[in-house]
Amino acid sequence: MDTERQAPTRRQLLHAVGLIGGSAAIYNMMTVLGHAEETRFDGPPNLSGARKGATVIVLGAGLAGMLAAHELEKAGYSVRILEYQNRAGGRNWSLYGGDKYTELGGATQNVSFAPGNYLNPGPWRIPHHHRTLLHYCKAFGVALEPFIQFNHNAYVHNADAFGGAPQRFKSLAADFEGNIAELVGKSIDQKGLDTQLSAEDLDLLKEALRGWGMLDENMRYTKGLRSSSHRGYALPPGGGVNGAPQPSDLFPFDEVLKSRVWANMAFFMNDEFQTTMFQPVGGMGMIGKAFAKQVGHMVTFNAKVSKIFQDKKGVAVTYTDTATGATTTAKADYCVCTIPLAVLSQIETNLSDAKQAAIQAVPYSNSVKIGLEMRRRFWEEDYAIYGGHSFTSQEIGLISYPNNNFFQDGPAVLLGAFASGMGGYRLAGMTPQERIEAALEQGSVFHPDSYRKEFVSGASVAWNRVPWTLGCCARWNEETRKEHYQTLVAVEDRIVLAGEHASYVGCWMEGALLSSIDAITRLHKRALEA
Amino acid sequence: MDTERQAPTRRQLLHAVGLIGGSAAIYNMMTVLGHAEETRFDGPPNLSGARKGATVIVLGAGLAGMLAAHELEKAGYSVRILEYQNRAGGRNWSLYGGDKYTELGGATQNVSFAPGNYLNPGPWRIPHHHRTLLHYCKAFGVALEPFIQFNHNAYVHNADAFGGAPQRFKSLAADFEGNIAELVGKSIDQKGLDTQLSAEDLDLLKEALRGWGMLDENMRYTKGLRSSSHRGYALPPGGGVNGAPQPSDLFPFDEVLKSRVWANMAFFMNDEFQTTMFQPVGGMGMIGKAFAKQVGHMVTFNAKVSKIFQDKKGVAVTYTDTATGATTTAKADYCVCTIPLAVLSQIETNLSDAKQAAIQAVPYSNSVKIGLEMRRRFWEEDYAIYGGHSFTSQEIGLISYPNNNFFQDGPAVLLGAFASGMGGYRLAGMTPQERIEAALEQGSVFHPDSYRKEFVSGASVAWNRVPWTLGCCARWNEETRKEHYQTLVAVEDRIVLAGEHASYVGCWMEGALLSSIDAITRLHKRALEA
């Protein structure tokens, strides 16, 4: 990773190289230097020189809190963690058969998935450039397997397109690209193209349009084996006497536009969703469990924090044991608070008005996930869909196919909803049973023959009903960033906040970890100055 | 799979539905009926009614031959297989440490990869729609894992672009799409667009261009966090005080065109390379081994066939035991010949002139694969590349990163070349040692710091030097198809040919299997008529 740590120097160097050798030299130099920045992770923090006996209270045993505790203890601090729940991991969490979950409002679900099956209510996929998380997964022995994010063969459904019938992503994407390529080609021929390209480059552009958009020799996107090799065949190539393939009909371009497939195409090109992605073998919660193995000895569970006060001498945290009802005040020299803002905003503190305003300022997203256990993998067996998502304009947002145990017989859990926005609120307003029914009803659009027939049982988590977060994750916008972000993340005397909400990688575990490293690095520096 | 077996009926039905309800009804109906055809596989062949005691000689213990033998034996035929090599599997083959391989010309390689590492000289990836192969993998207990075909974060190198510096696929693809979207947007504004779209649909197209091409509010593709979210950041989002991301510079569009990234984009949209792809755990050769377990009792190894003659009574196959030199003539009622055409064309037969002309007519592609064992997975650790390919305009064609044991310490084998055409011939003309050197030299363009430094050992297979195939696989073109294909695949008296060369899925294992099923089904029918 060394070549990726030298951003400022590198930039200066590239500037100098550019002055001497022009753009080609810059590109060459970029290659030598290790290309674009991929990560902010520089390795575990260096916290050397900690004062012996200095104490830290960490609030919250999610990933940010556990990483802080782990690294601070390694550095020599005496650390304890207070955790509201009776388990560590926070939003890093998997629900298995036998688990019981009670949401705000009192509804309790008893999960009855078969052994090995799970729902990841929170995070469920790891980008390859989330190097902090990948580093600690390796360090803590978490086995990872590919998460199939992008699947050409899954469906896109939009109620306003194709009379409400879903279509394979590959066919829609191929037709979108083919039509776009044809349009550009026509513009070139009509000299209607406003471009700086030379005549030679225009020829190259035409070649590109033909090759990318599968245009025919007349620069038209037409029905034939060429377009079918991208969008799928009416009859695919086979063997022997009747092996010849037959081309498929193209979709009308206006229907392709109405399907809004371009949004899915852009989604797959998003930095956070580019291949290769990963998931832990056995459920996302394996990460929380692996972290907990490192810091378990420091955690006090069932500790509901009600008050965080600091003065010149230290920090006092008052908490109630939710099992016994006993209230205690714990003291330490410093505090790393990773409590989600939606909860922290309800806890009494003597933080500055500006800090409290920042804590109040950031809204939390809602989101609902529903796991549906099916008797068999009909999406694999009958539809040749292995992992990935089928998207819909309905409230469930998408259904996502499991990436573990491909080809296995027996029951498997697919994600029956990943709803946010209005759809999320609507589903959150339902009882768990009603949510399952909605998921079955809406998801049936993709697999009408099998969806209800193969259904066994379901489980759901509506994040604005999760007692210990009261929402899914922090949703900053440009204005709140400008006004509150630096205030939120600044060390205030003896207290620092950490978590995905204190990062620009919001809603991702990586954000929680990067924030945690940054927070404890600054807190440590403060401690050394004290 | 039932819904996918009714193509003709379905087409008639769709036609009828269209007459009544229009296009929306057709689309709805297509959904109900199970969408586009995905495969020609209808399940294992039904060969009931075989005459007791009827005998079949199968020539070649590759996948086509072994499947034929397995299904014919199941049906009641008495089957034996003659195989030239001392192992079954044919081109389905993995080279492991300890293996020894001698190519035409006499060069012998002793493979010294670490335990568990391998090179797949032939097939190496399985499309999700190759249902025949997937069926038998499951039936015969072959464990499969994802093959990462598409990787946004791998490189594209073209000697004519960017002064010869490789760039990440994601950045090139994002800039290609952004520039194309901008061009179309401008054409719309200048009324230079020749399209049938309504004003409403044109607005939707503009929204699509903005959303797909990451255009700014002025419909321009510009440097900013929006374009960087696809192409990569100069500095990615982080946590804490310095978490804000910084956008990356766009590439000049003419350099993007010169990189020919569109060809890679089209490649990933190709039916045969669309996600999700798979590979056997432990090397592609595990499939050949699993098939061999089913048919091993029927195989005579080291049998070099020199003559295939048939008459009214049966088929006589003359072969030499390459171990002992003894020559034997084996007789049977029928023969399934899966010998690659490049070899079969050199064997004496009394097949018709037309059949022999067909056998001679099909050229075989060359192709060279080189495996390079590296001391550590620097592509994962230093470059965040997990699986997928980096493409180059150099002779090696590409390098491909292993998809097994992600994140593992210790040596791993990457594919250092997958060369064809002129590059393939050039590499095939070299000694194995020279090939390694060429692969190291050319592959270093992607990973200059590590490639030579971490190299341990290599192995190569040049398919036109493979004694038992004399080429990689059959390359039909439109003319040879028209003139020779039906002749080649037709049952001629008691003999039928099978293999990837007797299919429209050439160069794929699926083609070999589909061809085999079709061939034995027709041979069985002929036998019943006899």
CB contact under 8 A, A1 and B382: yes
Is B224 part of the contact surface with chain A (CB cutoff 8 Å)? no
The minimum CA-CA distance between A350 and chain B, rounded to whole Å, is 22
**Chain B residues within an 8 Å CB radius of A273:** none
Q: Where are the beta strands (DSSP E) in B100-140?
A: 100-102, 108-110, 118-119, 126-127
Q: List, in sequence order, every residue forming a beta bridge with A391; answer none if it has no partner.
A: A156, A398
The minimum CA-CA distance between A288 and chain B, rounded to whole Å, is 19
Answer for the pair A95, A247: CB distance below 8 angstroms, yes or no.
no
Is B489 part of the contact surface with chain A (CB cutoff 8 Å)? yes
The minimum CA-CA distance between B259 and chain A, rounded to whole Å, is 10
Answer for the pair B196, A252: CB distance below 8 angstroms, yes or no.
no
Measured CA to CA in angstroms, residue A56 lies from A49, A53, B175, B301 at distances of 15, 10, 48, 72
d(CA B84, CA B467): 10
Answer for the pair B284, B123: CB distance below 8 angstroms, yes or no.
yes
Average pLDDT, consecutive stretches of 10 residues, N- to C-terminus, chain B (530 residues): 37 48 49 58 94 96 98 98 98 98 97 98 98 98 98 97 97 98 89 78 96 97 98 96 96 97 98 97 98 98 98 98 97 98 98 98 96 98 97 98 97 98 96 98 97 98 96 96 98 98 98 98 95
User: What pLDDT is attached to residue A133?
Assistant: 98
User: What pLDDT is attached to residue A182?
Assistant: 96
Rounded to 5, what percent of chain A is helix, strand, coil? 40, 20, 40
User: What pLDDT is attached to residue A32?
Assistant: 44
The minimum CA-CA distance between B327 and chain A, rounded to whole Å, is 32
Tens of pLDDT along A362-405?
A: 999 999 999 999 999 999 999 999 999 999 999 999 999 999 99
Higher pLDDT, A19 or A142: A142
d(CA B237, CA A5): 15
- ipTM of the complex model: 0.93
Q: What pTM was estimated for this model as a whole?
A: 0.93
User: What pLDDT is attached to residue A20?
Assistant: 52
Measure CB to CB from residue A229 to each of B174, B271, B515 and give the nearest one.
B271
User: What pLDDT is attached to residue B6?
Assistant: 38
CB contact under 8 A, B270 and A176: no
Is the pLDDT at A2 greater than 50? The verdict is no
CB contact under 8 A, B504 and A174: no
Is B241 part of the contact surface with chain A (CB cutoff 8 Å)? yes
Tens of pLDDT along A207-232?
A: 999 999 999 999 999 999 999 999 99
Is the pLDDT at A323 greater than 90? The verdict is yes
Q: Of the candidates A413, A422, A424, which has an alpha carbon nearest to the alpha carbon of residue A472?
A: A424
Is the pLDDT at A197 greater than 90? The verdict is no
Q: What percent of chain A has pLDDT over 90?
A: 89
Q: Please, is B234 exposed, middle or buried when counting C-beta atoms within 10 Å of its C-beta (0-12, 13-18, 19+)?
A: middle
Q: How does residue A195 score in pLDDT terms, banded at 50, 70 and 90?
A: confident
The minimum CA-CA distance between B328 and chain A, rounded to whole Å, is 31
Q: Where are the beta strands (DSSP E) in B219-342?
A: 277-280, 299-300, 303-310, 315-321, 327-332, 334-337
How many CB contacts within 8 angstroms connect chain A with chain B? 403
Is the pLDDT at A179 greater than 90? The verdict is yes
User: What pLDDT is attached to residue A393?
Assistant: 97
**Chain A residues within an 8 Å CB radius of B168:** 35-36
CB contact under 8 A, B233 and A184: no
Q: Of the candidates A340, A29, A4, which has an alpha carbon nearest to the alpha carbon of residue B238?
A: A4
Rounded to 5, what percent of chain B is helix, strand, coil? 40, 20, 40
Tens of pLDDT along A269-317?
A: 999 999 999 999 999 999 999 999 999 999 999 999 999 999 999 999 9
Is A515 part of the contact surface with chain B (CB cutoff 8 Å)? yes
The upper half-sphere exposure of residue B364, i.e. CA atoms within 13 Å in the direction of its Cβ, equals 25
Is B151 part of the contact surface with chain A (CB cutoff 8 Å)? yes
Answer for the pair B282, B269: CB distance below 8 angstroms, yes or no.
no
Helix (H) or strand (E) holding B134: helix B131-139
